[in-house]
């Protein structure tokens, strides 16, 4: 069986975190005796990504998305499990591997703050050993696509956040990586800048057919770019499939909006409750959450009983569905730990001198 381009097997990462208590007294005590907590950031991820895929990692803060990208970039070592990217084990940090991928982090910057981005780019050229002609060609292409030409000679500290992010992307792409890891590349950007970066990534990925793993909190990024979505919560994969598939698989709810010809009174609202729960009402419209299988029967009944001007049946918004998935995961893990059912290597509180 040919190996996938990126392959993760039961990948795990545990951190030991110092539990600091509030107050001076506790701090002094902490000088002598410290309590540590084992935090499992990633608890066994299996994943295969083929060449040319554009995959999104979705998940709440602290779900393990960034940790996974850091493991795949070889920045940190795993506690258990294995991973290969293009046949390399990332945390061995072989130069042959490091020349073939790039990592962009929306929260961290690598460009020299006080120097024009151009100077940092030249440094990259030398570190990656890029031929001068190729370098100039790539830089021209990227700066045209991202509209950076005039900004190349301005100190990075004088650039706007959006411009800086574009520079970071340029820096990461100068050596034409085959695999790109993007950790929240649009964080903190305005709508226009977000859109620009999305458009750029889309174009670039389609043209170069590179493989991209992206984490983002913006559903728009994901909807615009990725066919495949991996939901990570609580350090594990909760869903892996298409974006539209999330709705089919994780919810059996539809939203039905009714526009009444007659005014809405309490009695009417009361009688609507037997069809489903009322999500929102603002005269003359009422929005109901209804179980999918019940929709046809409900519509017949309502159209019989009331005078309806307009009617919309739709899927619930993606953000809500995903938020539901997150909420469900954290609920389950909370109940499990309450019942003492937590997995054997789950959160452990240990003491150490």
Residue 254 binding another protein, by CB under 8 A: no
Region of 70-78, 136-144, 203-211, 304-312 interacting with another protein (CB under 8 A) = 70-78
**Which residue has tokens 């789950």?**
346
Binding residue (CB under 8 A) for another protein from 53, 163, 178, 184: 184
What is the closest distance, in whole angstroms, from the C-beta atom of residue 41 to another protein in the complex?
9
Edge-to-edge, what's the strand order for the sheet holding 34-49?
A: 80-85, 6-18, 34-49, 349-352
Q: Smallest distance, Å, CB 3 to another protein?
A: 19
If the CB atoms of residues 114 and 140 are measured against another protein, the closer one turns out to be: 114
Position 178 contacts another protein (CB under 8 A):
no
152 makes contact with another protein (CB under 8 A): no
What token pair was written down for 260? 């009444």
Among candidates 37, 13, 169, which has minimal Cα distance to 90? Answer: 13
Segment contacting another protein (CB under 8 A): 63-71, 81-89, 188-196, 269-277?
A: 63-71
Rounded least distance, CB 174 to another protein, Å: 12
Span from 25-33, 112-120, 133-141, 332-340 in contact with another protein (CB under 8 A): 112-120
**70 touching another protein, by CB under 8 A:** yes
Q: Can you name the residues that pair with 213 across neighbouring β-strands?
A: 55, 181
Q: Taking a C-beta distance cutoff of 8 angstroms, is the pair 246, 231 a contact?
A: yes
Contact region with another protein (CB under 8 A), list: 68-76, 78-86, 265-273, 337-345: 68-76
Comparing CB distances to another protein, the nearer of 94 and 310 is 94
Q: Should residue 80 be labelled a site residue for another protein when binding is judged by CB under 8 A?
A: no
- Quote the tokens at residue 26: 């506790």
Nearer to another protein, 13 or 253 (CB): 13
> Shortest gap between Cβ of 8 and another protein (angstroms)?
18
| Contact range with another protein by CB under 8 A, out of 89-97, 246-254, 257-265, 344-352 | 89-97
Give the strands of the sheet with 211-215, arranged side by side.
101-105, 179-183, 211-215, 54-58, 228-233, 236-242
Work out how close the CB of 182 gets to another protein at its nearest, in angstroms, rounded to a whole number. Answer: 12
Task: Select the span of 118-126, 205-213, 271-279, 334-342 touching another protein (CB under 8 A).
Answer: 118-126
Instruction: At 41, list the tokens.
Output: 């950031």
Closer to another protein at the Cβ: 121 or 260? 121
Of the listed pieces 78-86, 124-132, 280-288, 326-334, which binds another protein according to CB under 8 A? Answer: 124-132
By beta-carbon proximity to another protein, the closer residue of 122 and 228 is 122
For position 98 contacting another protein by CB under 8 A, the verdict is yes
Pick one of 19, 27, 110, 347: the residue that binds another protein (CB under 8 A).
Answer: 110
Task: Considering only residues 4 through 33, tell me which ones interact with another protein, judged by CB under 8 A.
Answer: 15
Return residues touching another protein (CB under 8 A). 15, 66-67, 70, 73-77, 93, 95-96, 98-99, 102-103, 105-108, 110, 112, 114-115, 119-120, 122-123, 126-129, 155, 183-184
């Amino acid at each position: 069986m040919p190996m996938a381009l990126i392959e993760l097997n039961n990948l795990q990462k545990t951190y030991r975190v110092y539990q600091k208590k509030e107050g001076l007294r506790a701090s002094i005590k902490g000088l002598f005796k410290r309590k540590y907590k084992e935090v499992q950031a990633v608890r066994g991820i299996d994943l295969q990504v083929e060449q040319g895929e554009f995959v999104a990692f979705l998940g709440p803060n602290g779900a393990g998305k960034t940790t996974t990208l850091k493991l795949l970039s070889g920045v940190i070592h795993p506690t258990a499990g294995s991973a290969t990217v293009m046949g390399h084990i990332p945390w061995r940090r072989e130069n042959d591997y490091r020349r073939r991928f790039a990592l962009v982090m929306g929260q961290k910057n690598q460009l020299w703050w006080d120097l024009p981005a151009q100077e940092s780019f030249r440094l990259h050229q030398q570190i990656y050993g890029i031929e001068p002609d190729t370098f100039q060609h790539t830089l021209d292409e990227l700066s045209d696509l991202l509209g950076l030409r005039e900004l190349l000679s301005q100190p990075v500290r004088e650039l706007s956040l959006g411009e800086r992010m574009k520079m970071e992307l340029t820096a990461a792409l100068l050596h034409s990586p085959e695999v790109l890891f993007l950790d929240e590349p649009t964080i903190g950007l305005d709508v226009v800048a977000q859109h620009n970066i999305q458009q750029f990534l889309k174009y670039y990925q389609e043209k170069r057919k590179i493989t991209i793993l992206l984490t983002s909190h913006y559903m728009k990024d994901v909807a615009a770019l990725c066919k495949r979505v991996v939901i990570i919560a609580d350090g594990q994969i909760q869903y892996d499939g298409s974006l539209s598939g999330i709705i089919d698989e994780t919810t059996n709810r539809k939203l039905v909006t009714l526009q009444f010809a007659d005014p809405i009174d309490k009695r009417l609202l009361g009688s609507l409750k037997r069809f489903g729960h009322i999500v929102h009402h603002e005269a003359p419209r009422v929005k109901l959450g209804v179980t999918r299988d019940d929709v046809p029967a409900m519509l017949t009944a309502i159209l019989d009983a009331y005078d309806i001007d307009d009617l919309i049946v739709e899927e619930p918004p993606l953000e809500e569905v995903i938020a539901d998935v997150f909420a469900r995961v954290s609920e389950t893990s909370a109940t499990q730990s309450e019942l003492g059912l937590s997995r054997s290597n789950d959160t452990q509180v240990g003491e150490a001198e």
